[in-house]
Structure 1
Amino acid sequence: MREYLKFYIDGQWVEPSGTKTWDVIDPATEEPSGRIALGEAEDVDRAAKAARRAFKTYSQTSREERVALLERVLVEFEKRIPDLEAAVSEEMGAPMWVSRDAQVVLPHNHLKIAIENLKTYEFEEDRGLSLVRMVPVGVCGLITPWNWPASTVMTKVVPALAVGCTLILKPSEYSPYSAQILTEVMEAAQVPAGVFNLVYGDGPTVGAELSRHPLIDMVSITGSTRAGAEVARNAAESVKRVHQELGGKSPNIILESADIEGAVDRGVKGLMFNTGQSCSAPSRMIAPQSKMEQVISAARKAASEVTVGAPSEDAYTGPVVNGNQWNRIQELIQSGIDEGATLVAGGVGRPEGYEKGYYVKPTVFANVTPEMSVAKEEIFGPVLVIQSYVDTEDAIELANDSDYGLAAYVQGGSIDEVREVGSRIPAGQVYLNGSGLDLIDFTVPFGGHKRSGNGREWGDFAFEAFLEPISLVGYNPSPTSE
C-alpha cells in the first residue's frame, strides 16, 4: 500500500491543512492500492504564496541556468523510469507494455525535446523601432488527468519551468502515484524552493481554488470539456489565462482507395490502444458504404484479436480506470444497442472470465447514425463506432459533424487525396495514413479546435502557452535626420 499524505510546498514536504484522505483503487482488483491526502483552499493558498515569492527570482534566471536545471531533471527522471512504469500501470490499469512503450516514453521525449528547444528559442525579436520580448506569464496552476498521468504532467511542467514560470500541480486523485514520483524527481534535481509545488485534491476543491486564486496568473487543464468549462468560469473573475486541452471524438476516414483490411485493423487497434482512454483516439470510423460488408468483417476480426488482461499480463488492453467510468461505458454500450446500431463485437458486461476489475469487452458498432449517443459522446473506453458515407464529400461532412476537434485520421491509397481530405478537417492534429503512435511527432503542436480546447502543447508551441509578449516601443531609436 502506498501512502502519500504530504504535499510538496516551498521545497518541503508539509502536512496538509485538513484531515481528508482518498483511497486510490486498483482498477484491476477494485481494492485500495494506496491513500493520498486531499487538499483544501488553505493548501492552495500556501502553495500560491510560495510560487509567487519564487517567481521574483526564478523569472530572472538565464536560459543557461534553466537548461542546466532541466538537464538535472532529465538525469533524475531517467533514474526513475522503472518506478514510473510500475506506478502508471498500477494507478490507471495500463498494461505494462503500454506503460513501458508509451506512457513513460512520451514524457521522456517531451523533456529531451524541451531542453533542445530551450537552447535556441528566441525570447526577443527586433521589429524596426521596437523590441518584442517574451516573458514568463507568472504563477501557473496545472490540472492533469488520469489517462496519461506522467505524460500530461510533464507536457505542462517542463515548458513552464523552461520559460521561467513557477507552478502548482494538481494531478488527478485517481492516478496520483506517477505525480508523486515526478515530484521526487524535481526535488532530487534541486528545483529551487517554491518553483514547483504539489497539492493533491479533487476538482471541486483544489481545482476550483487554483482557478480562482488571485495570485495565480494562469491555469492549464487537460481533462473533459465539462471540467474545462468549469475552470474557465472560475477563472473569469480574476481574468487569468485559461489553457485547455479537452475531449475528443476523433473521426477516422477510410477512403475507398485505401487497403480496407489494413486500414480497418489499424483503426480498431488504434482506438483500443490504452483501453480507449485517449482523448485523441480514432473513435469514429467513417468508411465507404460500398465496402461496408468488408469493413464490418475486418473490424470483427480485428476486435477478436484485442486481448484483455490484468496490467501485469501481456494483453492489448487492461481495465478502465474506475467504477464510474466502467458504469458510464456500459450505459453507452447499452444505448447503442437500444438506438439500433449493429453490434459487431463485444457488448455489455465484463469479458468472460472476469468477475472483478473494471474490464470492458472490446466493442464495435456498425450502422451508426449521427444522432445516436455513441456517435456524439466521448465514450473513453474500448468502444468503436462505424459510420458509412456515400462519397468523399459525405465523408468530410460526417467527420466534421462533431462538437470536438482534437484529432482526425485519414487513410487512403493516394497521398495527394489523403492530404486534400485531411486539410478540410478542423482538428488540432490530422494523422495521414497512420493510427497515431506510429506517426507521433513530438515537435508539432498538440491541442484542439471547437470544444476540444484552446491551447497548444508539445514542442516550441508549448513554450508560447506560458509566455506573454512585452513590446518595448522605441527600443531601437531611428537615426536623427539631418
Structure 2
Amino acid sequence: MSTGTETVGARAAADASLGADPTRSLWQRDAAFIDGSWRIAAQTDEIEDPATRQAFGRSARCDDGTVEAAVRAARTAFDPWAARDRPDRLAVLRRWQSEVELRREMLVEATVLEVGAPVDVAREAHVDLALEIMRTTLDELEGPEPVERIGNSIIVREPVGVVASITPWNYPFYQLVLKAVAAVAAGCTVVAKPAELTPLSAYLLADAAEAAQLPRGVFNLVPGRGDEVGERLVTHPEVDLVSFTGSTAVGAHVAAAAAATIKRVCLELGGKSASVVLDGADLATAVRTTVDMAMLNSGQTCSAWTRLLVPVARLEEAVELAVEHTGALEVGDPTRPGVALGPLASARQQAQVEGMVARARAGGARVLGARPVPDRGYFHPPLIVTDVDEDDEIVRDEVFGPVLVVLGHGGDDDAARLANDSDYGLAGAVWAADTETGVAFARRLRTGQVDVNGAAFNVHAPFGGFKKSGYGRELGRYGLEEFTEIKSIQV
C-alpha cells in the first residue's frame, strides 16, 4: 500500500537527492543508529500496515548489548555537547531541522503506512505540527542563556545528562520531536526507543541526523520491544532522565523501575478529557468541534475530548447533533484525501475498543452511529454513546478509539464535579457564553490544559497532565526546562 503514485514518485526522487542507498528499501531497516553510524541488529521485526493487515517493512530488534553501546555513546558525547554555547548548538540543530524538513513527504508516507492515519491527518496533525514544534523549540535557543539572581545567588539551568526517550505508537514522529529534539536542544544527549509498532518515522529522524552531521553520540536510535529495550533504558544507571509517553499502567511501572536508580521521569500518560458545555454556549459549534477532537487519529489521541457534558435539558439535542456530524465522517482507505478516519493501529487495539463498546451496550447504553466499515483492516466506526451512568467503564476508562460519551449535567457545579470525577487530568474544553465565564470555569478543572470556546492549540505553551495523566511538561520553554537541573551559585 502506498500514498499514491505521485507520493511514491516524490519519495523516489527525494531518496535519490538525499543520497539514499538505492539497493535498500526505505521501510526495510535492520540496524540501530549509535555513535553516528549504523549497527546491524541480530534480529528484526515485521511492521504491519493496519489498513491492509499486511507486513510492508521491517525494523531492528535491539538487545542489551545494543542498548549498552548506545548509552555509552550518549554518555561520552554528553560533556562536549553540553559545553557548547547556545549559538554553536543552534547552528548544528538548524542543519538537522533542514534535513528533517527535506523528508516531509517520506514522513507523511511512513505515518500513513505504520499508523494508518489518513493522509490529510498524517500531514497536518502528525508531520507538519511536529515540524512547527521542532522550529519553535530551536527558536527558544535564540538569544543569551537566561540567568536569574536571587540575593547573592546566581541561578542557572544545566542539561540533566543522558535522556531515554521512549515514545508511543499513536503519534510516533510528533512525540519523538517533543522529547528528543527538546532534550538535545537543552544540551542533553539522547537514546530514543520508538514503539515497536511504529518505528519507521524515527529512522527518518536518524537519517536526518546523520545527513546533518550531528555530533556522534548526541542522538542514538535503538528500536525494539518495551520489555527488552525499554526496560533496560529505564533501569540503566547511566541514564539520567526517562521521558515516556504511553499508558498509565506502563507509566506507573516506568516510574517504579526508574526509582531504583533515583533518576528523574517525565510521564505523559492517559486521558479521559471532558468537553463541558455551559448554559448560553453555542451548542452546535461545541458538539461539532468535540466530535472532531474525539475522533482525531481514529480516537487514538491521549488528549482527545472523549466525554461531552451538556446541560441535561439539551442532552437529546446534543446527541442528535453528534450523531449527525459523526455520520459525515468518512471511514476508509487512509491514502485517499478527504478520509477522516483510518483503521485502528492493531488487532489488539481493535479488540479493546470493540470489547468496551460491547460491554457498554450490554449494560443498557445507547450506542449510535454504527455503520459498515472496510473489513480488510482494523477499522472501527465512529460512535456516540449515551444513557450511561457516570461510574460506567466507558465513562471512566480510556477507550482509545473513535467513541464519544455524551452525558447531561445539572449546572456549573455539577458540570465541574463530573469533569473532575476522573483518575485523569490531561486536557479539556469549556464552551461558554463569553470568554470571561469560560476562563473562570476552566480554572475549576483539575487538568493540565483547557481550551475555551475552541481556542487554537499553542505550541509555545506547556502541555502535560494532572493525576494519573502523568507529570512533567512538554513544549516551549517549559519543555526545554524539563531536561535541565537547577544550580545555585553563591557569590
TM surpasses 0.5: yes
**Which of 391, 394, 412 is 2:432 aligned to?**
412
Matched, 1:181 2:198: no
Aligned to 1:239: 262
Segments of structure 1 that go 5 or more residues without pairing to the other structure are 476-482
Aligned to 2:40: 15
List aligned pairs for 1:297-446, cutoff 5 A: 297-313=320-336, 314-346=338-370, 351-352=371-372, 354-434=374-454, 439-446=456-463
TM-aligned CA deviation for residue 353 of structure 1: 5.1
| One-letter code aligned to 1:218 | L
User: For 2:298 and 2:188, how far apart are their aligned partners in 1?
Assistant: 34
User: For 1:424 and 1:74, how far apart are their aligned partners in 2?
Assistant: 39
List aligned pairs for 1:10-409, cutoff 5 A: 10-16=35-41, 19-120=42-143, 122-313=145-336, 314-346=338-370, 351-352=371-372, 354-409=374-429
Aligned to 2:474: 457
* TM norm structure 1: 0.95
TM-aligned CA deviation for residue 256 of structure 1: 2.0
Aligned to 1:471: 488
User: For 1:353 and 1:425, how far apart are their aligned partners in 2?
Assistant: 37
Equivalent pairs counted in the alignment come to 465
Percent identity between the aligned chains?
A: 38
**Which of 29, 54, 67 is 1:4 aligned to?**
29
SS at match of 1:168: strand
User: For 2:235 and 2:248, how far apart are their aligned partners in 1?
Assistant: 18
User: For 2:457 and 2:359, how far apart are their aligned partners in 1?
Assistant: 33
User: For 1:363 and 1:378, how far apart are their aligned partners in 2?
Assistant: 15
| One-letter code aligned to 2:334 | P
Deviations 1:104-127 (A, max 9, x none): 112111111112111136442222
SS at match of 2:140: helix
Contact kept, 8 Å, 1:272 with 1:306, in 2: the verdict is no
CA RMSD of aligned residues (A): 1.2
Contact kept, 8 Å, 1:319 with 1:358, in 2: the verdict is yes
User: For 1:44 and 1:53, how far apart are their aligned partners in 2?
Assistant: 14
TM-aligned CA deviation for residue 345 of structure 1: 1.9
SS at match of 1:239: coil
Contact kept, 8 Å, 2:373 with 2:380, in 1: the verdict is no
Contact kept, 8 Å, 1:307 with 1:315, in 2: the verdict is yes
TM-aligned CA deviation for residue 34 of structure 1: 0.8
Contact kept, 8 Å, 2:315 with 2:407, in 1: the verdict is no
Deviations 1:123-170 (A, max 9, x none): 422222111111100000000011111110001111111111001000
Contact kept, 8 Å, 1:123 with 1:135, in 2: the verdict is no
TM-aligned CA deviation for residue 20 of structure 1: 3.1
User: For 1:267 and 1:353, how far apart are their aligned partners in 2?
Assistant: 22
* TM norm structure 2: 0.93
Segments of structure 2 that go 5 or more residues without pairing to the other structure are 1-24
User: For 1:101 and 1:328, how far apart are their aligned partners in 2?
Assistant: 27
Structure 1 consecutive aligned stretches of length 4 or more whose deviation exceeds 6 Å = none
Deviates more, 1:204-213 or 1:113-122: 113-122
User: For 2:124 and 2:219, how far apart are their aligned partners in 1?
Assistant: 27
Contact kept, 8 Å, 2:319 with 2:384, in 1: the verdict is no
| One-letter code aligned to 2:47 | V
Contact kept, 8 Å, 1:367 with 1:388, in 2: the verdict is no
| One-letter code aligned to 2:299 | G
TM-aligned CA deviation for residue 216 of structure 1: 0.6
Aligned to 1:478: none
TM-aligned CA deviation for residue 209 of structure 1: 0.5
SS at match of 2:253: helix
TM-aligned CA deviation for residue 215 of structure 1: 0.7
| One-letter code aligned to 2:73 | A
| One-letter code aligned to 1:415 | T
SS at match of 1:106: helix
SS at match of 1:158: helix
| One-letter code aligned to 1:266 | T
User: For 2:363 and 2:254, how far apart are their aligned partners in 1?
Assistant: 34
| One-letter code aligned to 2:298 | T
User: For 1:421 and 1:159, how far apart are their aligned partners in 2?
Assistant: 32
Contact kept, 8 Å, 2:206 with 2:221, in 1: the verdict is yes
Contact kept, 8 Å, 1:95 with 1:316, in 2: the verdict is yes
SS at match of 1:229: helix
| One-letter code aligned to 1:109 | E
User: For 1:162 and 1:222, how far apart are their aligned partners in 2?
Assistant: 19
| One-letter code aligned to 2:40 | E
TM-aligned CA deviation for residue 3 of structure 1: 1.2
User: For 2:433 and 2:144, how far apart are their aligned partners in 1?
Assistant: 38
